[in-house]
Chain A
Amino acid sequence: MSTTMIMPIMRRPKMEIGRRLLAAYTGLVIIYTMIPIAVMIVFSFNIAPNGRVALKWLGFTLAAYRHAFGIQDLTGALINSLIIGVGSAVISIILGTPLALALTRYNYRAKTTTDIVIFADIAAPAVVVGASLLSLFLELNIPRGLITILISHVAFNVAFAVVVIRARMTGLDRSLDRAAADLGATPWVAFWSVTMPLILPGIVGAGLLGFAMSIDDLIITNFVAGQTLTFPLWVYGATKIGTPPQVFVLSTLIFAGGVGLAVINSLINRRADRRRQG
């Protein structure tokens, strides 16, 4: 609809040039965002003297890939990251889904306050969230480790889970679960058989976002980790003494896996959409 309406403007030659320039500019920005990723991938195949990534191209090798898991604490740190990523994503979905349901379906007194807290949780700077959680753990004498990292990651992932799941619920047709209720379904049954399948894409999306946020986080984790290392923490600790090539190798493998999953997911969704339309 909209494209046909703006056709006359687009035909003006001046506008046409502007559009082309904008398209080229967008392409350049996308290339710019890829530069560090390309550097990481290319240098994961570089010869690494003394087990450190070299600044110059010294020649192609697969040595670091053959010993991808050769550094024990780095592999351990990666496993910690995966455990915390999955754990915090699952817990934040379990906590966030009922709250998202309450916020979309009911008008209740504490709604505005809840909104403000969720908003503050998202907007609060990581350094403050990390410092405040560390203050709490120090005051209560809770030893820092895997559990405190998990607790902290859930604390920021819950807010994102609520926002993502809520966005999905807002678009839902309420008449479907009213129909379920008319047909004698209890709210519990109606939720699991009608609402749940419909909001599932939102829940999966919230889970993936939570996992990604958790794996990505360095600042909050750094405050609450104690002696435990996650993948980003290990890399951060090694920055000033030189980065072993395994860091780039593991990160390249995660990148390839993540992109692969995302592409498969979008292909499945596209096919499902087509089937629904056709």
Chain B
Amino acid sequence: MRRLSRNLAPYLLSLPSWVYLAVFFVIPLGSMLGLALATGDPLDGYVMSDNFSEFSLAFSQYHAEFLRSFIYGAISTIITLIIAFPVAYWIAFYGGRNKSTYLFLLVLPFFVTFVIRVLAWEFILSDQGFVLGTLKNLGLIPQTAHILSTQWAVIGGLVYNSLAYYVLPLYVALEKIDRRVVQAANDLYATPAIAFTRVIIPLSAPGIFAGFLLVFVTNVGDFVNAFILGGPGTYMIGNVIQDSFFDNQNYPLAAALSSMLMFLLMIAIFLYAKAFGTDTIQDYAA
């Protein structure tokens, strides 16, 4: 009896979360796929069918937005990595006793809700705001100069909002590096540049990839930066999904688009899990 309960224990402990995640995470992904294949309209309801035409329509109509999302996602993630790595490196190697204070300062902006952080950038960058407006009044830049509504405003917003999400996994990876390995490289007459590229970068690879995955996936699916900082020419796939659900009420199209997005990103996640395992992401995720 006792042994039986011991064998059952992990299953009983897991059951509540399993049920919850099955009903509100796994099954919804299926219903989204189902909705994508359905025919009908919001007033008369939907009939399940195997209407794959929505997928080809979605792709032929919106491949530009898909492409743009992946390009913005990739560029913003690479820029974030370049900005974040030296910061994480300095904190991990030279932060001394105040490491946690520096990390705390980096996550401080999270005490302000996401949409207001983006809104504040809209303020800072606006055509007549105190940056561009002042420069224009001084005659340093032409009156027509603008940053908002350009792709760089959107990419800049994405970079700003992902910075801390990238510093943290990089920090965790760099912190784990045994300093004696770096010391050994130096003893063997490696120049600092070689020690860095041949020892530190390879050893921090799990953090680089974990951060890349988290930031890239988040940024590809974002529509808030494009909505607030961008213009019609910078719409991303998230904006299209959002509009098809709420403005056009074309649910099957919206569901088809998000199913395709999920499918493309699942490939990326699957490749990551194959290469690094699922345990590592949990080390770096939170």
Spell out A's residues near B (CB within 8 Å): 2-3, 5-6, 8-9, 14-15, 18-19, 22-23, 25-26, 29-30, 32-37, 39-40, 43, 53, 55-57, 94-96, 98-99, 101-103, 105-106, 108, 110, 112, 114-129, 131-136, 138-139, 151-152, 154-155, 158-160, 162-164, 166-167, 187, 209, 212, 215-219, 222-223, 231-232, 235-236, 239, 243, 247-248, 251, 254-255, 258-259, 262, 266
Which of B11, B31, B89 counts the most chain A CB atoms within 10 A? B31
Give the Cβ gap from A274 to chain B, nearest Cβ, in Å: 13
Q: Which of B196-214 contact A (CB under 8 A)?
A: 213-214
CB distance from A188 to the nearest CB of B (A): 11
Which residues of chain B in 101-122 are interfacial with respect to chain A, using CB atoms and an 8 Å cutoff?
A: 102, 104-106, 108-117, 119-122
A120: shortest Cβ distance to chain B, in Å? Answer: 7
Chain A, residue nearest B265 (CB): A125
What are 6 A-B contacts defined by CB distance under 8 Å? A26-B86, A125-B217, A125-B261, A127-B222, A132-B31, A255-B112
Of the residues A126, A131, A247, contact of B245 by C-beta under 8 Å: A131
A108 touches B104 (CB 8 A): no
Given contacts A26-B86, A30-B102, 14 further A-B contacts (CB under 8 A): A5-B179, A33-B105, A33-B160, A36-B112, A43-B123, A98-B17, A99-B17, A103-B14, A108-B10, A121-B21, A124-B265, A125-B261, A232-B115, A254-B111
- B 143-171 to A, binary, CB cutoff 8 A, 1 in contact else 0: 00000000000000000100110000000
Determine if A39 and B223 form an interchain contact, defined as CB atoms under 8 angstroms apart.
Answer: no
Smallest beta-carbon distance B214→chain A, Å: 7
- Taking a contact as CB atoms closer than 8 A, the residue among A125, A132, A266 that contacts B32 in the complex is A132
> Bound complex: CA of A39 vs CA of B14, how far in Å?
46
Closest to A123 in B: B269
Contacts of A118 in B (CB 8 A): 21, 282
CA A124 – CA B264 in complex, angstroms?
11
| Nearest 7 interchain pairs by C-beta | A125-B221, A36-B120, A106-B10, A132-B28, A2-B179, A131-B258, A258-B111
- Chain B residues 214 to 246 lying within 8 A of chain A, measured CB to CB, are 214, 217-218, 220-224, 227-228, 237-238, 241-242, 245
Q: Which residues of B contact A (CB under 8 A)?
A: 9-14, 16-18, 20-21, 24-29, 31-32, 34-35, 46, 83, 86-87, 89-91, 94, 96, 100, 102, 104-106, 108-117, 119-124, 126, 128-130, 133, 160, 163-164, 179-180, 182-183, 186, 192, 213-214, 217-218, 220-224, 227-228, 237-238, 241-242, 245, 251, 254-255, 258, 261-262, 265-266, 269, 273, 278-279, 281-283, 285-286
CB distance A162 to B17 under 8 Å? yes
Q: Are A131 and B32 in contact (CB under 8 A)?
A: yes
Interface of B (DSSP majority class): helix
> In chain B, what residue has the closest Cβ to A53?
B123
Specify which chain B residues have a CB less than 8 angstroms from the CB of A162 in the assembled complex: 17
* Contact flag A29-B83 (CB < 8 Å), given A55-B128, A115-B282, A123-B214: yes
Q: Is the CB of B286 within 8 A of A5?
A: no
Given A26-B102, A128-B258, residue A56 in contact with residue B32 (CB < 8 A)? no
C-alpha spacing A103/B20, complex, angstroms: 17
Residues in B neighbouring A26, C-beta threshold 8 A: 86-87, 90-91, 102
A56-B111 in contact (CB<8A)? no
Whole-angstrom CA separation of A208 from B147 in the bound complex: 36
Query: How far does the Cβ of B133 sit from chain A's closest Cβ, in whole Å?
Result: 7
B217 in contact with A124 (CB, 8 Å) = yes
Check B106 against A116 for contact (C-beta < 8 Å). Answer: no
Contact yes or no, A30 B35, CB < 8 A? no
- Which one of A19, A108, A122, A125 lies within 8 Å of B285 (CB-CB)? A122
Whether B89 pairs with A22 at a CB distance below 8 angstroms is yes
The answer to whether B282 and A232 touch across the interface, beta carbons within 8 angstroms, is no
A219 to B113 alpha-carbon distance, docked (Å): 12
Chain A residues with Cβ below 8 Å from B9 are 102, 106, 187
